[in-house]
A = this chain, B = another copy of it.
Amino acid sequence: MARKFPRSFDRFRGASRPVHPGEAPGTLQTAPDATRTTIRFFGFSPETGDENVEERSVTAPEEIPELRKKWPASWVHVSGLGDLDTLSKLGEIFQLHRLALEDVLNSSQRPKIEEFDDILFLVARYNSWRDRLHSEQISLFLGENFVLSFQESENDAFDGARQRLRKGKGRIRSSADYLAYALLDSIVDHNFPLLETYGDRLEALEEESLNSWDEDTMAQIYKVKRDLAAIRRTVWPLRDVFQPLLRGDVDYFKEDTLPFLRDCSDHVLQVIDLIEHYREIATELVNVYMSGLSNRMNDVMRLLTLIATIFIPLGFIAGLYGMNFDAKTSPWNMPELSWRFGYPLVLGLMSAMALGMVLYFRKKGWLGKPNHKHKSVEDRLNR
Contact = CB atoms under 8 A, between A and B. Distances in A.
A305 B296 CA distance: 13
Given A196-B15, A294-B290, A312-B311, A131 B319 contact: no
Nearest to A160: B22
Contacts of A364: 299, 371, 373
Interface in A210-224: 210, 212, 215-216, 218-220, 222-223
Interface in A354-383: 363-366, 369, 371-373, 377-378, 380-383
Interface in A146-180: 158-161, 163-164, 169-172
Interface stretch (A47-55, A81-89, A134-142, A187-195): A187-195
Given A15-B199, A290-B291, A344-B332, A381 B220 contact: yes
Contacts of A40: none
Tell me what chain A mostly uses at the interface: helix, strand, loop, or mixed. Answer: helix
B186 A22 contact: yes
B260 A99 contact: yes
Contacts of A297: 294, 297-298, 301
A191 to B, nearest CB: 8
B381 A25 contact: no
A281 B160 contact: no
Given A277-B229, A372-B215, A309 B316 contact: no
A244 interface: no
Contacts of A371: 363-364
Contacts of A363: 371
Interface stretch (A30-38, A67-75, A109-117, A247-255): A109-117
Interface string A292-330: 111111111111110111011111101111111111011
Contact of A312 (B192, B292, B312): B312
Nearest to A6: B378
13 contacts: A6-B381, A23-B164, A25-B170, A219-B288, A222-B285, A223-B381, A225-B280, A293-B298, A299-B364, A301-B304, A301-B305, A318-B319, A326-B337
